[in-house]
């Protein structure tokens, strides 16, 4: 829950407080529960570290070999989609991110600047996630650093027991059965990037009831979902996004977020690539609300309650 303070909306998360002393020193309230002057960690066997990592990861792979929803891409749209979907504890959400670091382009604002601009009504989603922002005027709000949004939604999302993020994992292809997308073909990203340098390195698979593709705009691995749909004949054209128009772009991306073929929903900038919507530049509200809408498109495809079916 967010609390309003003047023109600022701040998260209710408790922060550590401090007091200034007469000599100028800062005394932090709450001392560590260990002695930093004589610190010794408990002993561990190196093999135990290996076993714990391997057992847990392999267990996750087994548990998610069949899943309810796969979200391809953990940028702002993909994370927002996973956030909305995972509110239902009975839905298993599997997020695949080709990069080691999830978040896509939402670690910075435009031109490598810090601030994130979110046009209204996107501030309601920020408040729900618990991201503090400055309410600047009737049209937009500002998060002081884009990383504040990404780190907040990512950390809270990963605490949910029905969500698993597989990062450094690429979706190389789709599983398609009888015209319906039924999952993804996966491989380690480093393997995917080196198919031309090594002999055949076969992939793995994840079956899913619905796939949400949020791979962003055109790039080395961008818009890969709709590009693959075009190559296998399930969509006719992928014209690419057109020149920047923030107002048309954000409305258009949310409006066109949909289940584009049975079993596959598109969201975020991938929508712009498929439909020739303008690029929007450094505003992020459409990414969040397109992701949220994509979640409800997936719920609709699953035959579950959603806000799109009146």
Q: Is 291 annotated as a binding residue?
A: no
**Binding site annotation covers 201?**
no
Q: Is 279 annotated as a binding-site member? A: yes
Is 281 annotated for ligand binding?
Answer: yes
97 is in an annotated binding site: yes
Q: Name the pairing type of β-strands 133-135 and 8-11.
A: antiparallel
Q: Does residue 269 have a known ligand-binding role?
A: yes
Does 233 count as an annotated binding residue?
Answer: no
- Whether residue 171 is annotated as binding a ligand: the answer is yes
Q: Measured between alpha carbons, how far is 45 from 52 in angstroms, rounded to an integer?
A: 11
Annotated binding-site residues read 77, 97-98, 105, 171, 202, 217, 269, 279-281
Query: Annotated binding residues for substrate, as ranges?
Result: 77, 97-98, 105, 171, 202, 217, 269, 279-281
């Amino acid at each position: 829950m967010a609390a309003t303070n003047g023109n600022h909306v701040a998260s209710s998360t408790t922060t550590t407080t401090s007091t200034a002393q007469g000599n100028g020193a800062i005394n932090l309230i709450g001392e560590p529960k260990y002695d930093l002057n004589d610190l010794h960690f408990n002993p561990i066997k190196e093999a135990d570290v290996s076993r714990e990592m391997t057992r847990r990861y392999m267990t996750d792979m087994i548990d998610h070999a069949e899943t309810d929803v796969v979200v391809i891409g953990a940028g702002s749209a993909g994370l927002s989609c996973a956030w909305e979907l995972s509110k239902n504890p009975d839905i298993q959400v599997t997020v695949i991110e080709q990069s080691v670091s999830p978040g896509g382009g939402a670690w910075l604002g435009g031109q490598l600047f810090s601030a994130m601009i979110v046009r209204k009504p996107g501030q309601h989603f920020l408040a729900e996630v618990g991201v503090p922002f400055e309410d600047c005027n009737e049209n937009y709000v500002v998060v002081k650093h884009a990383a504040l949004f990404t780190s907040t939604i990512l950390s809270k999302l990963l605490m949910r027991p029905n969500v698993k993020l597989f990062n450094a994992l690429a979706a190389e292809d789709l599983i398609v059965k009888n015209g319906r997308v039924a999952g993804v073909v996966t491989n380690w990203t480093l393997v995917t990037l080196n198919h031309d340098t090594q002999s055949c390195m076969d992939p793995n698979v994840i079956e899913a009831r619905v796939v949400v593709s949020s791979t962003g705009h055109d790039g080395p691995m961008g818009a890969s979902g709709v590009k693959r749909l075009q190559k296998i004949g399930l969509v006719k054209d992928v014209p690419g996004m057109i020149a920047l128009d923030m107002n048309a772009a954000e409305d258009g991306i949310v409006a066109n977020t949909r289940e584009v073929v049975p079993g596959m929903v598109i969201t975020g900038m991938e929508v712009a690539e498929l439909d020739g919507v303008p690029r929007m530049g450094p505003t992020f509200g459409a990414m969040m609300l397109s992701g949220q809408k994509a979640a409800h498109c997936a719920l609709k495809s699953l035959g579950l309650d959603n806000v799109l079916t009146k």
